A = this chain, B = another copy of it.
């Protein structure tokens, strides 16, 4: 499977991502084999609230990158609880002609379990797409606030998509609840107030600006009419140049990989703890907490000891 994937076989890629999604044990082996071949793709995150036209914009981006001769894989990460599947990008784009293009791959991924688990699965899927040789990886996430940051570490450039009148987003930027993205797109620019909305965004981002980083490019687009797309691609390219010139890209990616290792370690511990709880070994302990006889921090340490010690004592044989 890993060999077919490395050769660019989309069916192998699809199977490997499904293995990641279903947490099958073989998934890790595939990633282990393809991992040395990764790190080549450019990764762009496209985020924003529902209804601003992210899918249409991604459609236009895919077409534009294809005209440049670049292959594109897209991952849609949907943190919503399994509703709304009809509206997922996959279906819409599949209908629009890319399914015959060997250099376009589109995949959706919904939440299973924790947000942390989803982030880990999304990162693995991106590694697999990278290993399959795609030049451009686009990651679509839904959100305003902090939930969309779950895959942020895996992304070189963050594009926030809004539409005129999305005043909440400006409030979030000003309040620092939302981190400032690398590029902001005001989509649906044919609606009234796009220019003044962009001006408001410019003010909000310069007020909330972060240290030495450049202010985000703010662009107007119309995803349906495919207007402003070349400018968006240029803005993404400019950000890449900025990252490369400052040697920031490799530093960022190294940080992101370290963060991924930490998250995977915590996910592993979380699973061991949940297994220990499910096996009934912690019931009495938790009941003494509910009865307010054992305080939570002490229970946490007892649980850790109970759940981790036996595994680790035998752990000379870490695979």
Contacts and interface: CB of A to CB of B under 8 A. Distances in A.
A315 B319 contact: no
A79 B264 CA distance: 24
- This chain's copy number in the assembly: 2
Q: Looking at A35, A38, A169, A302, which has the most chain B CB atoms within 10 Å of its CB? A: A35
Contacts of A273: 262, 265-266
Interface residues of A, number: 78
Interface stretch (A68-76, A95-103, A233-241, A304-312): A304-312
A295 interface: yes
Contacts of A15: none
Contacts of A206: none
A131 to B, nearest CB: 10
Contact of A258 (B84, B175, B289): B289
Contacts of A168: 49, 144, 166, 168-169
A261 interface: yes
A37 B295 CA distance: 11
Given A50-B177, A81-B176, A144-B145, A312 B301 contact: no
Interface in A262-302: 262, 264-270, 273-274, 277, 286, 289-290, 292-293, 295-302
Interface in A122-144: 123, 142-144
A296 B260 contact: yes
Given A83-B175, A145-B143, A302 B318 contact: yes
A304 to B, nearest CB: 5
Contact of A286 (B142, B257, B312): B257
A28 interface: yes
Contacts of A308: 308, 312
Q: Which 6 A-B pairs have the closest CB atoms?
A: A145-B145, A264-B300, A80-B176, A265-B300, A146-B147, A35-B295
